[in-house]
Structure 1
Amino acid sequence: MAPKVLVSDKLSETAVQIFRDRGVEVDYLPDLGKDKEKLLEVIGQYDGLAIRSATKVTEKILAAATNLKVIGRAGIGVDNVDIPAASKKGVIVMNTPFGNSVTTAEHAIAMMFAVARQLPEASASTHEGKWEKNRFMGVELFNKTLGVIGAGNIGGIVCDRALGLKMKVIAYDPFLSDERAHKMGVMKVELDELLAKADFITLHVPMTEKTKNILSRENLAKTKNGVRIINCARGGLIDEEALVDALKSGHVAGAALDVFANEPATESPLFNMPNVVVTPHLGASTTEAQENVALQVAEQMSDYLLTGAVQNALNMPSVTAEEAAVMGPWVKLAGHLGDFVGQMTDEPIQAINILYDGLVTEMNLQALNCAAIAGIMKAANPDVNMVSAPVIARERGVQIATTTQEKSGVFDGYMKLTVVTETRERSVAGTVFSDGKPRFIQIKGINIDAEVGQHMLYTTNRDVPGIIGTLGGTLGKHGVNIANFTLGRTAVGQDAIAVLYLDAPLPQVVVDELKATGLFLQVKPLEFDAA
């Protein structure tokens, strides 16, 4: 029997035809996604669900989706899909992360032109029959300095287009290597230098705890007088109240915003301000982009339903169904190893080296590599998946090397992940025990046996008396229960580490108290995906 797909949002007829041409039965009901009760009633009939943003795939919908195998989102955002619930149900969630990159980059360039020449206000004035030629005095882009915050896929395209306009381009991106920056023709700088030098600043980073209000009141004050700011990435990257004040004072000469902290933004103090250009989140809204992502999602879903091939999955590596059963725990381990070094590393990464030992060398190493790299990159980009992670790493000039070796030591197989930055190397090794649970077996060259949990604490110190008591006493005082406690050291009185698996997230007050003792060289709370 042919697999059956429901398209519950508006998708192009060409995309719908791809399903039919590939031998997939398809029901095109573009308004069904807005009718939750009707969707709940019929979803059990389908193997696949193709959506845009209108359909909300909730836990309740997934519970009724008794035959559903794959959800395909035409576009990058999957806020309308309960991914943990889908994973628990065994449903793959795919997106199309690169289908609208050019469109979004072009919108940023268009917004830069608009704010440089005050085009919307000049157009409105002329439509009113005025001829205010002297009122709208713009600035050239030629020879101006563009500061690009986030030089990944979309930011990289913006850099390329800006260089074509003969602008000087500087970029801030923690994952951008010197080699990659040189190849792109841009100058890599720290954030403070970018703020001080840029005539125009454009944002192209995801919304994370690290990037929230990256243009804060404090950072806006560091910018060049007369700077113009463009944001076509995510709302919340700019402190909007601080931006209003900077515009009123004249320190910021203009702003062009496609995104807002709260959307839909039907009111904002930024609206109707002089030389503030605003659009309703149009970054991906071109005919070509919408067609591209629709065609891509139809191809990806058809491939999976007909052959088992997985592309751009957010909750599963690119492996066959046969491999998945064997590799599942190792894929999880690879992600945990990457997540560990990703959370521990703040410098630009130059290289990622992955060593496979023993039985693991016979598995799909490309998928394991993808899982490890995705874990590393997730700290800076939560939207990353196992398919896009290697692409993002390559864009940033990160060198990736894989080594295999025959069984050595006491384990039937293990993985060791090493990240190289300009100043140091950081490594962690792990294995999967017979219970199927990942374990950390070595950190910083120190042998341990640490079970991986959702909430963890990692500390480093000199091997001196009192460490266990201090950790246990401080956590106990604040009601944080320890599920597992692992210690390791290089030698008596030398370097030592502790890895604690906790029942709850670690409050900042505990971190501060531990640091204040002076016993620890490092106190780092860690968070991992739930099992």
Structure 2
Amino acid sequence: MFKVFVADKLAPEGIDALRQYPELEVTFEPGLSPEEAKKFVEDADGIIVRSATKMKGMLLESAKRAKVIGRAGIGVDNIDLDVATERGIVVLNTPDANATTTAELAVAHMFSLSRNLPKADSSVRAGLWERNNFLGIELTGKTVGVVGFGTIGRLFAEKCIGLGMTVIGFDPFVTEETFRSHNMNKVDLDELLINSDYVSLHCPVTDDTRNLINEKNLGLMKKGAHIINCARGGLIDENALLEAVEDGHLAGAALDVFENEPPGDSPLFRCDKIQFTPHLGASTHEAQTAVGVEIAHNIASYLIKGQVINAVNIPSIDQGKEEQFLPFIELGRKLGVLLNAMSVGSVSSIEVSSYGEVNKLDSHPITSSLLIGYLSSQLSVPVNQINAKQLAKRQGIKVTEIKSSDSKDYVSVIEASLISENETITVEGSVFDGRHSRLTRINNYIVESPLEGHILITWHADQPGVIGILGDILGRMGVNISRMQVGVHENMQLAIAVLAVSSELDEEALSKIEEITAVERALQVKV
């Protein structure tokens, strides 16, 4: 018998779903203080929360028996993932249970913007009958651009196609084939903004997407276009948006999310062409029921069968295998980070091969670790050993694994090949002295170099003096070179240099390197 403590309000259907399992003893006591909840947490094998209960500090420390924590929703900010992972507690969430609800809200905002519904409602309530003031726009035949093509973006696109709209999409990490399978074209961001009557955002906030819709990109949009954000605050530069609407370049905007929530006395509120909702993306009866039922079944599956569904952290590796696994898991992650830095465009497949002695180990953790390194900077959800392959598949990436006893040039080798719409990239690495990650090959170039810290890679003409110029630029920028490896290939005019440098290069330094006549390409990566 497993004890499950439900600490927050959950839809009755979710509680019923838990109680249908005879193996579970369910305690439903929402609204308790941390001190009051502690006695139930101490005795629970599984704990279900929404956003109110904070599984951190004292409360998480008291979860001595806990094997799993379930979050009925997508965000896990109220759970200390690091501590839970260290304790071997699996954390689950329900990332897609509210997808339909959020997509529908974006469609609702699009309708509302097109027909001036908030202002028309206020007018009628004021005793007016101003029909001529609220001339609307038909959606049928218009073009809508979908930025971000995950589950919610795809559902939104399907609904717009059903309305007779032309739908185009942008997501650098999703293949053209995936877009075509949803009856729409993949375009770059500039083309989407230039051609769309409506733009709807459905992407996460990352370092690359923060203020994605800035003054420049707002200026690319059609005059009279509308923009909708039901994804995450921070995707739009709110000051630039206000200016674009007030000066008449955009006809209007709809925001369900804000840079800061609640937004307080935001300057946006002075503009009646922008409409607002208070982060209602998941706020429907159906979504609340869906997240409750889904987390109930997922908690039961883990406790009763050991089946892991929608985990957001990494379970502990058996202590007896740590010494063998961990160096290759770390090597895989670093090769993934390197592939992400090198690749351009959407990726269709990644092949991970294990050669030599490492072939005797389970390849799944190594492949998953490589995908963690490749995907983590692209997605807002945590990527881990459990969900890495699933997330890669959702991005349209086919992942294959090959194992061979052939040892190549080293006792154990991990090779990863990435196929994108532009190129094929292969990187190869090994583990030296049982613990040190070492890069051994990039494409056709043999380059034996430690995989650690800040690395600068250049592709340059195979001619004298290039390395000297590189060293001079880095020296003037106060950047030390601790190691350097140059690779050449007899059938290629370009050489490659892999330099371990003391710190990250600023834009000026990297630009100066790229301006060297002999340098075709330069990139930096931290592994």
Name the CA shift for 1:424/1:70 in 2 (closer, same or farther; >3 Å).
same
Query: Counterparts of 2:25 and 2:318 in 1: how far apart (Å)?
Result: 23
Q: Which position in structure 1 is the counterpart of 2:496?
A: 496
Query: Counterparts of 1:9 and 1:470 in 2: how far apart (Å)?
Result: 62
Alignment of 1:135-150 (within 5 A): 135-150=133-148
Alignment of 1:469-488 (within 5 A): 485=483, 487-488=485-486
SS in 2 for 1:143: coil
> Offset at 1:189?
1.2
Give yes or no for contact 2:483–2:499 (8 Å, CA) kept in 1. yes
Name the CA shift for 1:510/1:321 in 2 (closer, same or farther; >3 Å).
same
Extract unaligned runs of 5+ from structure 2. none
Q: Which position in structure 1 is the counterpart of 2:311?
A: 313
Name the CA shift for 1:37/1:115 in 2 (closer, same or farther; >3 Å).
same
SS in 1 for 2:155: helix
* 1:19-53 deviation line (CA, Å, top 9, x unaligned): 45252344333223xx4555567644444332222
Extract unaligned runs of 5+ from structure 1. none
Q: How many aligned residue pairs are there?
A: 523
> Offset at 1:508?
4.5
Instruction: Specify which of 166, 169, 185 is matched with residue 167 of structure 2.
Output: 169
> Offset at 1:122?
1.6
SS in 2 for 1:271: helix
> Offset at 1:292?
1.9
Give yes or no for contact 2:484–2:498 (8 Å, CA) kept in 1. yes
Name the CA shift for 1:266/1:494 in 2 (closer, same or farther; >3 Å).
closer
Name the CA shift for 1:310/1:439 in 2 (closer, same or farther; >3 Å).
farther
AA aligned opposite 2:526: E
Query: Counterparts of 1:435 and 1:15 in 2: how far apart (Å)?
Result: 48
Name the CA shift for 1:167/1:481 in 2 (closer, same or farther; >3 Å).
same
1:27 correspondence with 2:30: no
Give yes or no for contact 2:460–2:521 (8 Å, CA) kept in 1. yes
> Offset at 1:179?
2.0
Query: Counterparts of 1:244 and 1:408 in 2: how far apart (Å)?
Result: 61
Query: Counterparts of 2:325 and 2:446 in 1: how far apart (Å)?
Result: 24
State which drifts further: 60-69 or 298-307. 60-69
* 1:349-403 deviation line (CA, Å, top 9, x unaligned): 2332222324444554455444433432323213253455544544454343433
Alignment of 1:361-400 (within 5 A): 361-366=359-364, 368-383=366-381, 385-386=383-384, 388-400=387-399
Name the CA shift for 1:348/1:496 in 2 (closer, same or farther; >3 Å).
same
With normalisation by structure 2, the TM-score equals 0.87
Query: Counterparts of 1:54 and 1:345 in 2: how far apart (Å)?
Result: 41
Q: Which position in structure 1 is the counterpart of 2:75?
A: 77
Alignment of 1:39-50 (within 5 A): 43-50=41-48
Q: Which position in structure 2 is the counterpart of 1:290?
A: 288
Give yes or no for contact 1:374–1:390 (8 Å, CA) kept in 2. no
Q: Which position in structure 2 is the counterpart of 1:407?
A: 406
Give yes or no for contact 2:356–2:411 (8 Å, CA) kept in 1. yes
AA aligned opposite 1:24: L
> Offset at 1:239?
1.1
Q: Which position in structure 1 is the counterpart of 2:430?
A: 431
Q: Which position in structure 1 is the counterpart of 2:224?
A: 226
Q: Which position in structure 2 is the counterpart of 1:444?
A: 443
> Offset at 1:76?
1.7
Query: Counterparts of 1:464 and 1:56 in 2: how far apart (Å)?
Result: 60
Name the CA shift for 1:85/1:250 in 2 (closer, same or farther; >3 Å).
same
> Offset at 1:188?
1.5
Alignment of 1:77-476 (within 5 A): 77-271=75-269, 273-316=271-314, 327-366=325-364, 368-383=366-381, 385-386=383-384, 388-433=387-432, 435-453=434-452, 455-462=454-461
Query: Counterparts of 2:320 and 2:290 in 1: how far apart (Å)?
Result: 31
AA aligned opposite 2:443: K
AA aligned opposite 1:52: R
State which drifts further: 196-205 or 366-375. 366-375
SS in 2 for 1:134: helix
> Offset at 1:235?
0.6
Query: Counterparts of 2:296 and 2:455 in 1: how far apart (Å)?
Result: 40
Query: Counterparts of 1:113 and 1:219 in 2: how far apart (Å)?
Result: 23
